[in-house]
Amino acid sequence: MPANRTLPVEVELALEVMPCQAMRRTYDGAGAPHPCAHFGQWGAFHSYDYRDTGAPAQPGVVQQSVYAGKRPLVPEILSGCRKAPILAVGINPNLPGWTNGSRNAVHPYFEDYLQYAHHFRWRATEKLRIPMAAFDALRGDRADGPYETRGLTREGEDIPVEPAPVTMYHGYQSLLDALAQRMGWTGHELTVGEDIAYANMVACGSARWTTRPVAGNPPMPVMGEAGARGIVKECFHDRRYFLRQMLQTLPRVVIVFSQTTADAFVVAMRDHFTQGDPRPGEPIAELLKREIRLRFGRTATGEELDARIVFSPHASARQDEFAQARDAIVDHLAAEVHAGRLALNPSTGHLTRPRGGCLFCDNALYRIGDCAYRAELQPLAGAAIGAMADSGTPDPLAERAEHQRLLAAFTKGERKMSDTSEIMAFDDAARDAPRLALRGKIVPMSGPPVERGTVYLYRGSIIDVRDADAPPPAGFEGVTPIDTGGVIYPGLADLHNHLAYNALSLWWPDPKSTNRSQWLRKPGYKRAVGMPMEVVANRQDLVKALIRYVEVKLLLGGVTSGQGMKSKYRHSDKLYPGLVRNFEASDDVDLPPIGHAILDLKDQPEAIEKFRTSLSRDRQFFFHLSEGVDANAHRQFQLLADNNLIRPTLVGVHSLGLNTPDYATLAAAGASVVWSPFSNAVLYGQTLDVAAMTASGVRFALGSDWTPSGSRNILQEIKIASLTAAAQGAPIADEQLARAITMDAFAIAGWGDRLGQIRPGYHADLTILDPIDPDPYANLLRANEANVRMVVIAGHPRYGDRALMAAAGFDGPRTEALTVGGRERLLNLDHPSSPLNHISFAAARDALAAAFADLPAARDATVFEPFDDGAALDLELDLQPPEPEWGEIEELADVTLPDSVPFDAATVIDDPDYWTVFDSIPHLPAFLKGPGGLRRFYA
């Protein structure tokens, strides 16, 4: 941004944008080229300058011109009146001269800011070209193209120029003509440049927006995904050229042209739509069917500033579609006229200007012509609305300050939390939790079940647990107990997961692997898992949709605390704590966050000492221990043992490659194990030695791992654990398995003093299930998602049957309805410090499903992110394919992004196709397959 902070915004933009591309190619001294240098790869084009110095005396782009040689294109942000009431928007400027049929195009190349400002103020429906006969005479018989360095003639020589009609701009004009005809306006002078200005989200031009290769002659330069993100970060997000101009123009209508631009615009402006809820990837034909509005902000006097957003097919690349859509577009424009937001000014013959002042044509720095609209402009600055003509020359500093205030509010998000509230503790919600008395069969885990009891909750804590017939504790005399009709358990824990991947369906290596490094390096894994997740992680709207989706999946499975989601607030080391409690991120002093490491420990002194430090901290340290079945996997255990690294704080995730004595070693040291039997079987064809583990007395818990090779939720995993132990001839009691996802799990994580039991003083996290088995522990084992009656976190019912949620007072307009297992449920996802409150479960599900159904389109939309600085989240993907080792480079380099991948449903009970995929895993043990295996729990 320039140091000068006194210029009107519209003038500042002209002075700043004109040299931007040249600066990037010439003055950047970095070792690697700046991403914007991509535009220089398109070559050089015939250019012109004005023969006379200074701004031309008359409007228009056809002036006495001289040849300026072959030059790159200058960047541009907006053509036309800066206060045009209709703004047309595209991705970036087009590039006449690239194709053989347009070689005679000639582009402006000014060294004078006044000429630059004049040209882009009065450019309308034409660009310029050299008449073909004159061009052929100058060119002769030599080849001519963007990479030919020789010019047509000497620089400074006069050249003839003529208007070159631009189909796109004439399409804009057809909308104005149709609107005037529809409204019966006679004598109007509506024209492109005066009533429709056209802007670009990125300032530099190219023949196509090439995030991926595009065929052509000559071949088009490819910016690639990383390059595109760098370009958009520089131009759109950091310099904010487009946004600054749009907020200075404050148009009444914005027409977004092309599906590509629509997707980018919707993502970038997502948090500012107040009506119509457009979605990335939604077809233009659907977007045209409803009114969509975008809020710019509010003036200092309280006036709301917004625009109708109209989406249109590309007027030149999709001419037939544009012609079919024209009437619908004009319908939207006419609706704005009827609403009084667009109007014809009889004195000018043009549409009235929107709110805000403008000094672009005549200011203290330069003059490029008269402003025909001065008498009607209404500056933002000032206590009351008044025309500039009524108040004399406006105060440019006051107007600039108002614009800067609008810009700051827009980019920070007035509707989101403050910078301090975004990182408040999760249990900030607990203080608002109401008094609740929940009645049912209570399974406290630390003592015998209470056949008919009541749990009393208030402000996020369990106040008391009493027999149903006992009088209530103090403060609950007027609280009517809610008869849940269910079995009440402590909230369930999923102690091992990679939640960021849990929108992906089952994948398995074929053949099965013997250690983690094998399947991580398979091209099929990169294609089915790694690359799709890169698409998600690079798009802020999908990151937030993913977090919302996987958290709700946990709730639907009865989970109140989960491990394996590390997402950070951007520009901060603060982790997002989550709606479901996050073992990695806790602001509760009684719930210390765990440490976590996945990659194998290297046999190097520095790595070993770093690991020792991690174990010495006052928290549990989760380590993927001996994940595999070969000698390399077991060598990890031996490395820990040899270096005295088996400590009470060690939690060995998987521990698949251990020998029988190794479990006793863990138990003697007070270490623990997290077991993921389904994922073990899918990836390696077997799991750990259950008899050895249980006989050693080592504490263990269960973890679902992740949906690409594991269970959809902990209710599925506990069933697979039971079936696996029985198949090995080492059955585990139902109560012990129940403890492995409640009391023992929380104790292993270091949270056992506040969670995992139902007792006074503990946090009010509960999972309530249907009574389908008289034994409460078998009941938990047999339950599936259809049997989850209610889930309570920090005293707030977050999910449950509609009737129970209503009885608890959580059935208002901020809840969301859904059906699970044929029963109507409600979600209560609102949280005082969540950046996801505006994202419903259904919207998140639909956005992810659409992205996975068309991954290339989803990828190409990643470069435009919302202006969402305060609450942006960065996702940590901890199981991405590693960089290829020697000998793997060619194989992995050939892996390309698939067109689509299956999207993982939220539950097993509502997904009958799940069993076809499940049973097709070739190395999955037979006891898990078919009607007599896992499926019997879901019949």
CA–CA dist 678, 690 (Å, integer): 13
Give the model's pLDDT for residue 227: 85
Residues with Cβ within 8 Å of 1's Cβ and at least 6 positions away in sequence, in order, are 16, 239
Strand pairing class (65-71; 45-50): antiparallel
CA–CA dist 256, 266 (Å, integer): 10
If we measure between CA atoms, which residue out of 873, 723, 773 comes closest to residue 449? 773
| Whether the Cβ atoms of residue 820 and residue 909 lie closer than 8 Å to each other | yes
Give the model's pLDDT for residue 175: 98
Element (H, E) at 89: strand 86-90
In which order are the strands placed within the sheet that holds 766-769?
Answer: 461-467, 450-458, 436-442, 482-490, 766-769, 788-793, 796-801, 823-827, 816-820
Strand partners, 192: 196
| Whether the Cβ atoms of residue 201 and residue 89 lie closer than 8 Å to each other | yes
Long-range (24+ apart) CB contacts under 8 A made by 664-671 are: 664/696, 664/698, 665/641, 666/696, 666/698, 667/696, 667/697, 667/698, 667/699, 671/646, 671/647, 671/698
Give the model's pLDDT for residue 569: 55
The domains found in the chain, sorted by start residue, are: 9-345 (no CATH), 354-412 (no CATH), 492-928 (3.20.20.140)
Strand partners, 791: 767, 799
CA–CA dist 117, 15 (Å, integer): 9
3 state DSSP class of 151: coil
If we measure between CA atoms, which residue out of 314, 312, 308 comes closest to residue 332? 308
In which order are the strands placed within the sheet that holds 581-582?
Answer: 492-494, 559-562, 581-582
CA 839 remoteness from chain centre: 11
* 457 Rama class: left (phi>0) / alpha (psi -120 to 50) / beta: beta
Give the model's pLDDT for residue 576: 62
Long-range (24+ apart) CB contacts under 8 A made by 137-143 are: 139/103
Task: Please give the sequence-ordered ranges of beta strands (E in DSSP) within 752-909, or none if there are none.
Answer: 766-769, 788-793, 796-801, 816-820, 823-827, 873-875
CA–CA dist 151, 67 (Å, integer): 9
Give the model's pLDDT for residue 863: 67
CA–CA dist 864, 265 (Å, integer): 7
Residues of the chain with pLDDT under 50: 1-3, 27, 383-386, 388-392, 413-426, 571-573, 869-870, 886, 888-890
One-letter amino acid identity for 683?
Answer: L
Give the model's pLDDT for residue 425: 32
| Whether the Cβ atoms of residue 797 and residue 808 lie closer than 8 Å to each other | yes
Q: What is the pTM of this model?
A: 0.71
CA–CA dist 874, 567 (Å, integer): 5
Residues with Cβ within 8 Å of 746's Cβ and at least 6 positions away in sequence, in order, are 490, 493, 561, 752, 754, 755, 756
Residue position matching structure tokens 């002659």: 217
Looking at 433-539, list the stretches that DSSP marks H as alpha helix, in order from N- to C-terminal side: 516-520, 523-525, 531-537
Note the pLDDT tens digit of each residue in 633-659: 999 999 999 999 999 999 999 999 999
Angle between helices 9-17 and 113-122 in degrees, nearest 10: 110
Give the model's pLDDT for residue 577: 63
